[in-house]
Structure 1
Amino acid sequence: MASNWEALAARKRQDLLNSIPDEWRIPRDLLPPESQEDVTDFPKTSGWFTREELDITECTALELLPKLASGELQSETVTRAFCKRAAAAHQLTNCLSETCFERAISTANSLDEHLARTGKPLGPLHGLPISLKDNFNLLGLDSTVGFTSHIGDPAKYDAVLADVLRAAGAIFYVKTNVPTAMMIAESVNNTFGRTVNPLNRKLTSGGSSGGESALIAFKGSPLGVGTDIGGSLRIPAACTGLFTLRPSFGRFPTLRCRSGMPGQEAVHSVNGPLTRSLADLEAYSKIVVDSEPWLVDPRCLPIPWRSVSLPCKLKIAVLWDDGMALPTPPVTRALKTVVQKLKDAGHEVCDWSSVDQREGASLLSRMFVADGGEAIRRELERMGEPWRPEMKMYEEAKSLTGFEYWQLHLERQAYQKRYLDRWLAAGIDAILCPTTPYSSVENGKFKHVGYTGVYNVLDYSCISFPTRLTVDRSVDRPLGDDYEPMTDLDKQIQIEYNAEAVHGMPINLQLVAQRLEEEKCVEMCKVILGIMS
């Protein structure tokens, strides 16, 4: 089997391409040249999409849902439009891992018939196509999570979240690409290759939910679901200018998904929405929680979606840097801009020291490799698949003994307690900080997940949100020669910063609330968006 992985991967890629009907394959004479960086306008400018298809796929989820519920729009029509746009997105960015177009259209027809027969929508997501990250099991489809060893091993059941969404009326039509084992901050693997950013194909769409972010940024999905164990939702959202919520463990169901490192629970993987609007994010979250997922996933907490009243004056702590890597100039400018807007609006702003960030990042990486990389190694060796260079940390890791692993858990608990005490002593409502050091970055150059991963260790609620600012190469110039880097990592990030390459890209920031404060996180994000408008 040691020489078989390449043939398996090639066949899988061809099967994926073959699953796209001829009618949804971009005509050769309309394909943008490979040198074209931004392909997000292709649907509008190519003449290949009908006016109706464009009108549908330009809508947000909340714009579509009332039209679907009333019958103004047929679910089949909406589903076909998003299937076509998703197919185009894949041909231009390599964002998909699975399709189930026929199944989706059949489901849409059934929903249309239900509405015509009963006069009532099936549920709050009636007829809405929703895309899922590759690791969400759907019956009969592979969940490779980037491994060739999982090719031809279709799921025998659906993920619990899929059950919840389907009961609410959602339609599944595609699954999206991820990195190997979902443990790289860019979506690249030996099976499907690299997903690129539709806003600029020379840049990364992030990872590990980078297939989702590319698809949604291209408007090939009105709403998608990804997962986050060290930043895997927030990083892709930042790279493509989307909204996402990293919930605390227990708010959304996680049962029956495929893991890249099954059994690793020192840091829990959670799932959440990727959307183009905060309203869509909030609506999705409320629908999932209101479905009472604790009745189908024993690890979900019986906490309904709650209304939150914010104080008139918020107290926001600002983490300007994490002591390991200074944000690149556009991210620092965005932070300064938002901070000034907060002050002008009468909110209290204070600095948040980076004193605890390094230990949190260290805990994250040590827990990820506690098995010595064995879970990943076994899957690679099954097909003779090589280690990707981005996974050197796992390839070279040494396993801990059971006792050493328990001691690591004790360190984590002490760290969580110290951070909580510091938060409460400061009396803050939230931390405002970078999502990553970058707006986005050139393919293959993403480094450092410390800004996100620390909050996975703490299990805090986080939103990555677009600031409505974009990179300006004339303003966001590289730091001068007089800048003294904090670390070798910092030095490399600043040296590689290319203002020309990321010019015009959206700039996201991260808002962090306490554990299980998803509702408050959403409301505080509304405040920030309000002062930025």
Structure 2
Amino acid sequence: MSWEEIAEKKRQALKNSIPSQWIIPDDLLPPADQADVTTFPRESGFFTERELELTSTNATDLLKKLASGEWTSTEITTAFCKTAAVAHQLTNCLSEAFFPLAISRAQELDEYLKVHGKPKGPFHGLPISIKDNFNYKGFDSTVGFASLVNEPATYNSTLVDLLLSAGAILYCKTNVPTAMMIAESVNNVYGRTVNPRNRSLTSGGSSGGESALIAFGGSRIGVGTDIGGSLRIPAACTGIFTIRPSFGRFPNSMTRSGLAGQEAVLSVNGPMAKTLEEVVLWASTVVGQAPWLTDPKCLPIPWRKVSPKGKLKIAVLYNDGIVTPTPPVSRALNETAEKLKRAGHEIVTWAPTEHKDLLGTLSRMFVADGGKSVQKLLEPTGEPFRPEMQAYADATELGVYDMWQLQLKRNELCKSYLDRWNAAGIDAVLCPVTPYSTVEHGKFAYVGYTGVFNVLDYPAVSFPCGVTTDKDIDAPYPEHKPLSDTDAQIQRDYSAEPVQGMPVNLQLVGRRLEDENVLAMTEVILKAVASS
């Protein structure tokens, strides 16, 4: 079959996996030009009050009710499966749906609780969604390639086994861009995932299926991955929470990659959720399962309880010297810095001294194989490079010596950044996640604000700061002096009207391996913002 035929059959199989009773009736289906569909569950009448109660309850409370037997996993799982099915019909956010398997497992866990009088594990009965690249026996992990359709996994990713042993319910996998190397979730197999808050805008990438599902309400906690911003960008585009952890804190082995074997910049996985509390819940629970016993690259560092200092010294990166944040993001950053000052925290300016070189290093590492990894996955079906992947099509392979020199350069930059951090005596860096709140489809042009911290391997939280875009305030800069050609293009493309009312996320970055501390500091920032 041609790649087009393979893709069409796969999309039809996914559509057929949705039970008929969960197909949105024509008379309830939102018109194609309705931008915001997050209101559909509550306003359409398609969901019962009980289903809405279950899916709007945070994961911490769900687990308490599951452990006590007050609520059943069967009822909760069914509600989330239905909501995920509806989310997919409105946003194209899924890549695999295994709802009957999930409900069957939920029934088994309910029976386990009755028989044993205690939950099976710390995630007992909780539905958790996972990104497409996590291997789950019997299901595809296509990462957007037609050649990987109908090639079901024969083993589980380490994290999948950990979640299952902890009692979690896995019920769907979520869409990604080709090779998971595009900042918007679009590929030739499943097509494009859209933002449920405004379907003319992107939900980000590469964990954009997860962000769309969670923002819609079809998941409380989902798991994505990040090699250049793939957790933080989609969280920002949809106004939810995530952490890009330090490498080695969470298990990442036995997952599928579009650049398999590329370890100069390491991919990590992490939770995405509507609340910071749920991000911390996932992180502490996963680390509490001692993942270093099953993942050889996991570090044996238990999850630590920390109390941040009463007065933080936060360095603000107002721009990275390459691209200026668009007006709503700059406004959000300035307002948040002012609120922190009023709350008694010390604010200093952070210079982007190494950022250009760090980003250049990252870009070269991603295409160091001359695009061969992507090409070899496209060739079997004749699938073409998507236009967003042109850098991979044009790349020239680095030799071993040149790659080693590049890694030496990376190490020098990491040392320089650490020295500067230490000399400044700062606790964290506050900066944009992206130049955008979110952006129209096809216009996401820059990942520099996230990618540099992948090279540095610093933990970074993407969080909604309470600011939303306002077309009356966030007009284009009247006399902008671009920092680069990319900056000039982004500012030319910017318009306040399309992103009206969208939430703005910021990024808080901490020291390497101090993931607990950066999450605790994020809570301090949220309190300062809320009290201002």
After TM superposition, the score normalised by the length of structure 2 is 0.99
Distance in 2, matches of 1:216 and 1:394, equals 31
Q: CA deviation at 1:127?
A: 0.5
Instruction: Map 1:514-529; keep pairs closer than 5 Å.
Output: 514-529=511-526
Residue 109 of structure 2 corresponds to residue 115 of structure 1: no
Partner of 2:432: 434
Instruction: Map 1:42-53; keep pairs closer than 5 Å.
Output: 42-53=40-51
Partner of 1:501: 498
Distance in 2, matches of 1:309 and 1:36, equals 45
Partner of 1:483: 480
Residue 241 of structure 2 corresponds to residue 243 of structure 1: yes
Partner of 2:132: 134
The one-character-per-residue Cα deviations of 1:109-154 (angstroms, maximum 9, x if unpaired) are 0000011111101111110000000000000000000000000100
Partner of 2:143: 145
Instruction: Map 1:362-381; keep pairs closer than 5 Å.
Output: 362-381=360-379
Q: Which letter maps to 2:414?
A: Q
Residue 507 of structure 2 corresponds to residue 510 of structure 1: yes
Partner of 1:179: 177
Distance in 2, matches of 1:249 and 1:161, equals 14
Q: Which letter maps to 2:373?
A: A
Which of the residues 294, 301, 308 maps onto 2:306? 308
Distance in 1, matches of 2:66 and 2:222, equals 18
Partner of 1:218: 216
Q: CA deviation at 1:322?
A: 0.6
Distance in 1, matches of 2:470 and 2:61, equals 32
Q: CA deviation at 1:356?
A: 1.1
Instruction: Map 1:258-269; keep pairs closer than 5 Å.
Output: 258-269=256-267
Residue 454 of structure 2 corresponds to residue 452 of structure 1: no
Q: Which letter maps to 2:44?
A: S
Q: CA deviation at 1:309?
A: 2.7
Which of the residues 412, 429, 434 maps onto 1:414? 412
Instruction: Map 1:306-385; keep pairs closer than 5 Å.
Output: 306-385=304-383
Distance in 2, matches of 1:46 and 1:307, equals 43
Q: Which letter maps to 1:297?
A: D
Q: Secondary structure at the match of 2:173?
A: strand
Residue 406 of structure 2 corresponds to residue 403 of structure 1: no
Matched positions, count = 530
Distance in 1, matches of 2:131 and 2:188, equals 17
Distance in 2, matches of 1:50 and 1:126, equals 24
Which of the residues 153, 160, 170 maps onto 2:168? 170
Q: Which letter maps to 1:161?
A: L
- Stretches of structure 1 lacking an aligned partner (at least 5 in a row): none
Runs of 4 or more above 6 Å deviation: none
Q: Secondary structure at the match of 1:467?
A: strand
Q: CA deviation at 1:181?
A: 0.2
Distance in 2, matches of 1:280 and 1:486, equals 38
Q: Which letter maps to 1:110?
A: E
Identity across matched positions, percent: 61
Q: Secondary structure at the match of 2:512?
A: coil
Partner of 1:12: 10
Distance in 1, matches of 2:377 and 2:193, equals 22
Q: CA deviation at 1:484?
A: 1.1
Q: Secondary structure at the match of 2:27?
A: helix
Q: Which letter maps to 2:246?
A: S
Distance in 2, matches of 1:154 and 1:167, equals 21
Partner of 1:206: 204
Distance in 1, matches of 2:129 and 2:466, equals 25
Which of the residues 282, 287, 303 maps onto 1:289? 287
The one-character-per-residue Cα deviations of 1:426-464 (angstroms, maximum 9, x if unpaired) are 110000000000001001100100000000000001000
Q: Which letter maps to 2:106?
A: A
Task: Provide the alpha-carbon RMSD of the alignment.
Answer: 0.7
Distance in 1, matches of 2:476 and 2:70, equals 51
Q: CA deviation at 1:63?
A: 2.2
**Would the aligned equivalents of 2:63 and 2:126 in 1 still touch at CA under 8 Å?**
yes
Distance in 2, matches of 1:61 and 1:242, equals 15
